[in-house]
A and B are shown apart, each in its own frame.
Chain A
């Protein structure tokens, strides 16, 4: 894997969201998309208009919190919220990242696959499915949704930008999840 470079990494919490400008439509997004986009923004990478950059997102809880929030709107006059429904797709964060940065490469969203993200990205890069890959691990679980589903409350995201060749820290066989990779890069 020596030819795959870690160009940048980031680690964010909801406190970091307000540090960036995302435009007037950011408020519509669900917390997973907001935090995922923040993690990518925190990479500080200018992707340019490169068609062959892919996006891989891993998430344990996916859209759980938004599922609960959306389903609550069914009792309101006018019925369920169409925009919340769209964000009940766990992969909406993948789409929002691709749209914001103009990335037309392949997409993948893995549920629970946090230790598979870097391996999948490395495969894309090695086999030429993409020349760069934005990798994100993102989870936001609110208290009510967590209690209902029996999963822990959390709000964290990590991101990395990997590229074939070029400058950066080499990715190794031992790098599996973004959390550890970010810690290694910082150390």
Chain B
């Protein structure tokens, strides 16, 4: 499996302090918000901080980040697009 996707799953669990969920239980194509993991707007903001902290990506407007938070897969693609050299 894609290393970035694997890393992201662990980071999401750690950042959002998700309990009783393992990286293996997260479907990288499933929606992150609403149903699925049950994440909300506060979690989205916390993920914005995580992106800056670990990937150096600054999101000024939460709307800009919205497509990236569609799924773990979308988030990985978003990070790659912002970091073409890595």
Contact = CB atoms under 8 A, between A and B. Distances in A.
Q: Do chains A and B touch in the complex (CB under 8 A)?
A: yes
A20 B24 CA distance: 24
A143 interface: no
B42 A79 contact: no
B76 to A, nearest CB: 18
Query: Which of A77, A78, A82 has most B Cβ within 10 Å?
Result: A78
Nearest to A28: B17
A140 to B, nearest CB: 16
Contacts of A25: 18, 38, 40
B45 A83 contact: yes
A77 B50 CA distance: 9
Contact of A79 (B37, B38, B52, B56): B52
B52 A77 contact: yes
Nearest to B44: A82
Contacts of B40: 25
Interface string B25-53: 00000000000011010110110111111
User: Is the interface on chain A under 10, 10 to 19, 20 to 34, or 35 or more residues?
Assistant: 10 to 19
Interface string A12-48: 0000000000011111100000000000000000000
Given A24-B38, A83-B43, A77 B19 contact: no
Nearest to B53: A78
Interface string A55-92: 00000000000000000000011111111001000000
Nearest to B16: A28
Nearest to B41: A82
Nearest to B21: A24
Contacts of B38: 23-25
20 contacts: A23-B19, A23-B38, A24-B18, A24-B37, A25-B18, A25-B38, A27-B16, A27-B19, A28-B17, A28-B42, A77-B52, A77-B53, A78-B51, A78-B52, A78-B53, A82-B42, A82-B46, A82-B49, A83-B45, A86-B42
Interface of A: 23-28, 76-83, 86
Would you list the 7 A-B pairs with minimal beta carbon distance, nearest first? A27-B17, A78-B52, A78-B53, A82-B45, A78-B49, A27-B19, A77-B53
